[in-house]
Chains A and B, each alone.
Chain A
Amino acid sequence: MAAAELLSQEFELGFTYTRSTGPVVGKFLTGLRDGKVYGVRGSDGRVLVPPAEYDPVTAAPLTDFVEVGQEGRLLSWCWVSEPREAHLLQQPFAWAMVQLDGADVPMIHCLEAPSAEAVTTGARVSISWADERQGFITDIRCFTLLQGAAS
């Protein structure tokens, strides 16, 4: 059979509909769109970023939102020398657990860095925003290292 006779159809594996993200996840994602980062205060007083809908200890609904900083400290990281096709950064990068200033728990996102040698636990990092923000976690393009400010 000649190739031209083959029927083909583009197929994207994923959700083909939009969902409401609700008052907690939605508050966080809408904040990202507006260039702000919100956490939520847990029943033990800890500020959780990204916000949890329900308290991780008591399961109580959480609603006490707190805006936190856009810089933070690196608590753990790993170096991806060969990014996978699905990864958001296609240059070697680090996955990072970053505790933003004002937050009591870390969050995970990518960290752009020139090499593994440039990254140390405890380093100060900052959010690098995506050029176009639409209310997704990927509105944070990645974290970047703040030079000369290790804590």
Chain B
Amino acid sequence: MREIAVVAYSQSPCVADAGATNEVELIMPQLQAVYSQLGLASAQDVDFVCSGSCDYLQGAAFAFVAGVDALGAVPPIKESHVEMDAAWALYEAILKIRMGHADSALIYGFGKSSPGELPIVLSQRLDPYYLAPLWLDTVSLAALQARLLLEQGLLTEHDMAAVVARSRHNALANPLAQLAGEFSVEELLAEEHFVAPLRRADCSPVSDGAAAMVIATVEQARAWGAPYARITGIDHRIENHNPCLRDLTDSVSTRQAAAAAGVHRGPVDVAEVYAPFSHQEILLSRALELAPETLVNPGGGVLAGNLMMASGLARVGEVFRRIINGEAGRGVAHATSGPCLQHNLVAVLEGA
């Protein structure tokens, strides 16, 4: 099988409201950043492009097509899109390279969530007969899951606040983060509930922004001469769309994806886990069977800033960044999609 590496990555700051900046304008600086890391002129210099976004955020069918304006599609390019987080665009691009149809690929994800009411917008992606007509929002769904964990004694509100405190602290060293600061667990627990048992701080903020990445065969990566990290495993698994038909206190699909991606074949120095709610970071760390010495979300994770449809790709990008900076030798990136961690992707990255 062809060995594939991440060779370039960039993410925008997470901002609560990008104002009049449109999606193309959110994407373009990130594309320019990855081009400059490799000395590329444009998307013409890669073999394939794949993006991830959600038309529901813009409220229009085929809204993602406008994002292609950021590429400059003339002369024609090979291009694809997933109505998913761009971590799944990465997956598609990897398949394309593995099949020998491309040697390099550009991946980008973007989301401008601020114009709508994100938890309600996302409720319309639930099944259209049983749940979507109830406008069951994502925060409430996560709160139902959190209570199951709390009342079964699998974690405490103190544990959840500790996740938030660590995220805010770690985010102080992350210039792209939206929420950062020093908070004690006691201070966080003193805040009133938002959707009990969740407090506002247990929920990732709504953010606008974009991320971009370039991957290539290891041969192409060497030819470009840029530092790279090899993707030594990647897999994704999905569970039932009805949250009531799943064990919400575990993530079976994460366990399956982790096993298939080979997470346990070596030590994990760093793990970037896509946990939009504090209790989910604990749940996912257990499902990934992370050792106590593994650094989890050292940049604050998505509790410090959550770019819908780009945060999953950003988890992979953050692990890449730590490996090429020499901070880690082997890392795990996780992405999630759907209500209460329905669909999970796990990737393993290792140094060159």
Assess the A77–B135 pair: CB atoms within 8 A: no
Q: How many A-B pairs fall under 8 Å by CB? A: 86
In the bound complex, do residue A78 and residue B195 qualify as a contact, i.e. CB atoms below 8 Å apart?
yes
A138/B134 in contact, CB under 8 A: yes
On whether the beta carbons of A108 and B59 are closer than 8 Å, the reply is no
Inter-chain contact B129/A21, CB cutoff 8 Å: yes
Q: How far is the CA of A1 from the CA of B145 in the complex (A)?
A: 53
Chain B CB count within 10 A is highest, among A25, A121, A137, for A137
Q: Least Cβ distance of B201 to chain A in Å?
A: 16
Contact (Cβ within 8 A) B244 A116 = no
A86 close to B123 (CB less than 8 A): yes
Q: How far is the CA of A138 from the CA of B136 in the complex (A)?
A: 12
Cβ-based interface call for B40 (8 A): no
A78 touches B133 (CB 8 A): no
Residues B130 and A84 in contact, CB atoms below 8 Å apart = no
Binary A-proximity of B140-165 (CB < 8 A = 1, otherwise 0): 11011111100100000000000000
Whether B193 is near chain A, meaning CB under 8 Å from some CB there, is yes
The residues in B between 125 and 140 inclusive whose CB is less than 8 angstroms from any CB of A are 129-131, 133-137, 140
Do the beta carbons of B129 and A25 come within 8 Å of each other? yes
When the two chains form their complex, are residues B135 and A78 in contact, meaning their CB atoms are under 8 A apart? Answer: no
Given contacts A81-B196, A136-B133, A137-B129, are A76 and B245 in contact (CB under 8 A)? no
Residues of B within 8 A of A80 (CB): 140, 195
Q: Are A137 and B120 in contact (CB under 8 A)?
A: no
Q: Does B17 contact A (CB under 8 A)?
A: no
In the complex with contacts A21-B129, A76-B147, A95-B244 CB distance below 8 A: no
- Count A-side interface residues using an 8 Å CB cutoff: 33
How many angstroms between the C-alpha atoms of A95 and B213 in the bound complex?
Answer: 39
Q: Which residue of A lies closest to B194 (CB)?
A: A81
Contact B120 A84 (CB under 8 A): yes
> Once the chains are docked, how many angstroms separate the CA of A107 from the CA of B195?
19
> A87 at the A/B interface (Cβ < 8 Å)?
yes
Across-interface contacts of B29 in A (CB, < 8 A): none
Residues of B within 8 A of A86 (CB): 117, 120, 123, 135, 137
Distance, CA A121 to CA B150, complexed state (A) = 11
Instruction: Check B245 against A56 for contact (C-beta < 8 Å).
Output: yes
Smallest distance from the beta carbon of B141 to chain A beta carbons, Å? 8
Cα distance, A106 to B240, chains bound together (Å): 14
Task: Please measure, in the bound complex, the distance between the C-alpha atom of A78 and the C-alpha atom of B193, giving whole angstroms.
Answer: 10
Name the residue on A nearest B129 (C-beta).
Answer: A25
Closest chain-B Cβ to A32's Cβ sits at a distance in Å of: 11
> Which of B137, B196, B198 neighbours the largest number of chain A CB atoms within 10 Å of its CB?
B196
Q: Which B residues lie within 8 Å of A52 (CB)?
A: 240, 242, 245
A-to-B contact residues, CB < 8 Å = 13, 21, 25, 29, 48, 50, 52, 56, 75-81, 84-88, 95, 97, 105-110, 116, 121, 136-138
Provide 10 A-B residue pairs closer than 8 Å at the C-beta atoms, listed in order of the A residue: A56-B240, A77-B147, A78-B140, A78-B196, A81-B194, A84-B117, A84-B137, A87-B137, A88-B134, A107-B130
